Chain A
Amino acid sequence: MLAHVHSAAAFVLAAASGGTTSGKEESSNFLVSPDVGLMVWTLLSFVVALLVLRKYAFPAISEALDKRQRMIEESIDAAAASKAESEALLAEYRERLKEARAQADEIVASARKAGDEVQRSAAESGQAKRDELVEQAKKDIEGETRRAIQEIRSEVADLTVAATEKVTRRTLTAEDQKRLVEDALSELDFSSLGERSN
């Protein structure tokens, strides 16, 4: 840069000195002598450019840049907000999932418990039923046995009456017969029969 200036200065000096020696001053001095007309035109042009740019160019460019900056800021904010929102949502869903899982576990546990309960109570009630049935059967058997013995007794009595009638050829009164049989039977032991049938 300095070399630039130096070379220019050297040329300007050379041109200036050359101009004076050759007697044609106006041919080279124009390089360094300010021209009032050009200065005025430049000033006017610059002022026009300044006014036009200040009114029609800079505000629009500035506005567009600001707008873009705002948009970028907004989109960054929006992205941060949606990220936070999605994180919150995610946390909520996780929480819910955890709850759901706990609930499911609870449900399974209670179902299992209920099942066990049902199974246990079913087993218990079955046992009771069976016991009851067995008991009933026992009772029935006992009753039947007693009835059968009773029947046998009366059958035996009747047979005995018939047999005695044949033997004695006479008929006792019914009351006599009955008394006699009863006496005879009471001497017989039927308990062994009952035990056997049992």
Chain B
Amino acid sequence: MIKRLPLLLLPLVALLANPAGALALNINEDYKPQNEFKLDTWIDLPGPFDLNKAVFYVFVATLLTTLAMVLVARRMTQRPNRIQTAVEAAYTLMRDNIAGGNMDRRMAAKWFPFIATLFLFIWFSNMLGYLPLPTNTEHKVDIAGLQIPSLALYAATANLSVPLVLTLVVWFAYHIEGFRAKGVIGFYKGLVPAGVEGPAAGPIFAIELISDFVRVVSLSVRLFANILAGHLLILFMGGGLVVLLNLAVAGSVVLGLVTGTMAVAFFLFEIGLVATLQAFIFSTLTAIYLGGAVADEH
């Protein structure tokens, strides 16, 4: 390590010797990092139902979710191995904390499969997003004459459509539950917090009504933006910035070393915390919305 230090410092020395030359900006106009998230049609189907990268990720995430859970469920033993222990821990978390902690017993039993599937589906989608898969059809690699798409990171949840449709399902679900429990008028009356009376009730009701609709945006964008931001950070730190800024060699090496280190840190942060945390937040908020829709006090 000590012997290699001068070698590592060489680009820095070059950069300091000629800052103007090394830092000369020559932005790469051809590089479009957002294209990593662009959905090229893979298989053309009638209407808007073309199969593309995002659909592929949704399918793989669905397959992973169902296969993993069903396989573990079919091999449940009284002396669990590590995977079963992890699944049991997740199950208990979903049942007792996410569903049981935010809804009454009846609602928790009724909506547990929905909330648990949401959590698992989002979690598998998020985690799948940190696995490099050969999905970059824009840049192909020639391997033994075969045009293989290059490896890329992508996540279905980094596309607004996926969290948005899940959010819409949640939004309709808790409205229907609320209407059934209290009636349409009762539900909207319940939006005004207890204790607010007189002239204040009008504006408060308006704010609460707006906030009810804003939940569609907040719930979906929270998940989408977090996952997208994580992928963008990894993308830029893991080389995207170096390519985009197109510095001279010395500057690129220094920038690459710094951002490359940060890329590893961001990757670990995303895979270790954000992926699970966002799945947890989404399903917990769903449970809170559903529980709140039927609760006496809003």
Binding site for B on A (CB under 8 A): 1, 4-5, 7-9, 11-12, 15, 27-28, 30-43, 45-46, 48-50, 52-54, 56-65, 67-68, 71
A12 to B160 alpha-carbon distance, docked (Å)? 12
B82: interface (CB < 8 Å) = no
A55 to B73 alpha-carbon distance, docked (Å)? 11
| Central interface residue in B35, B72, B225, by most chain A CB within 10 Å | B225
When each residue 20-34 of chain B gets 1 if its CB lies under 8 Å from chain A and 0 otherwise, what string results? 000000000000101
B162: interface (CB < 8 Å) = yes
A87 to B114 alpha-carbon distance, docked (Å)? 50
B145: interface (CB < 8 Å) = no
Contact B62 A58 (CB under 8 A): no
Contact A65 B32 (CB under 8 A): no
Closest to B52 in A: A38
Binding site for A on B (CB under 8 A): 32, 34-35, 37-39, 47-50, 52, 54-55, 58-59, 61-62, 65-66, 69-70, 72-74, 76-78, 87-88, 91-92, 95, 112-114, 116-118, 120-121, 156, 159-162, 164-166, 169, 221-222, 225-226, 228-230, 232-233, 274
A15 to B35 alpha-carbon distance, docked (Å)? 11
Closest to B37 in A: A31
Given contacts A1-B226, A8-B232, A46-B117, contact A38 B70 (CB under 8 A): no
Contact A37 B55 (CB under 8 A): yes
Closest to B165 in A: A39
Contact A4 B54 (CB under 8 A): no
> 9 interchain pairs (CB within 8 A)?
A1-B226, A4-B229, A27-B34, A34-B161, A39-B161, A39-B162, A46-B118, A46-B165, A65-B92
Given contacts A45-B62, A52-B70, contact A37 B228 (CB under 8 A): no
Given contacts A35-B48, A43-B169, contact A57 B69 (CB under 8 A): yes
Contact A58 B116 (CB under 8 A): yes
A64 to B78 alpha-carbon distance, docked (Å)? 7
Contact A50 B113 (CB under 8 A): yes
Q: Kindly provide the distance from the CB of B55 to the nearest chain A CB, expressed in whole angstroms.
A: 5
Which of chain B's residues have a CB closer than 8 A to the CB of A50? 113-114, 117
Closest to B69 in A: A57
A34 to B117 alpha-carbon distance, docked (Å)? 22
Question: CB < 8 Å: which of B92, B113, B160, B229 contacts A54?
Answer: B113
Contact B32 A61 (CB under 8 A): no
Which of chain B's residues have a CB closer than 8 A to the CB of A67? 78
Contact A31 B233 (CB under 8 A): no
Closest to B66 in A: A52
A188 to B20 alpha-carbon distance, docked (Å)? 181
Given contacts A37-B50, A49-B66, contact A61 B160 (CB under 8 A): no
Which of chain B's residues have a CB closer than 8 A to the CB of A36? 48, 161
A57 to B66 alpha-carbon distance, docked (Å)? 8
Contact B70 A34 (CB under 8 A): no
Question: CB < 8 Å: which of B32, B39, B66 contacts A38?
Answer: B39
Given contacts A60-B74, A60-B76, A71-B78, contact A46 B166 (CB under 8 A): yes
A50 to B122 alpha-carbon distance, docked (Å)? 12
Given contacts A4-B226, A8-B226, A9-B225, contact A65 B120 (CB under 8 A): no
Contact A38 B54 (CB under 8 A): yes
Closest to A43 in B: B165
Closest to B56 in A: A41
Q: Kindly provide the distance from the CB of B211 to the nearest chain A CB, expressed in whole angstroms.
A: 18
A88 to B162 alpha-carbon distance, docked (Å)? 65
| Central interface residue in B91, B162, B221, by most chain A CB within 10 Å | B162
Question: CB < 8 Å: which of B55, B59, B88, B164 contacts A61?
Answer: B88
A128 to B228 alpha-carbon distance, docked (Å)? 124
Contact B39 A35 (CB under 8 A): yes
> When A and B form their complex, which 3 residue pairs have the shortest distance between CB atoms, in order from nearest?
A8-B229, A64-B76, A37-B48
Given contacts A8-B225, A27-B34, A54-B117, contact A34 B232 (CB under 8 A): no
Q: Kindly provide the distance from the CB of A69 to the nearest chain B CB, expressed in whole angstroms.
A: 11
A9 to B226 alpha-carbon distance, docked (Å)? 10
Which of chain A's residues have a CB closer than 8 A to the CB of B77? 64
Closest to B71 in A: A57
Closest to A36 in B: B48
Question: CB < 8 Å: which of A31, A35, A56 contacts B228?
Answer: A31
Contact B49 A27 (CB under 8 A): no
Q: Kindly provide the distance from the CB of A33 to the nearest chain B CB, expressed in whole angstroms.
A: 7
Closest to B124 in A: A49
Which of chain A's residues have a CB closer than 8 A to the CB of B65? 49, 53
Which of chain B's residues have a CB closer than 8 A to the CB of A4? 225-226, 229-230, 274
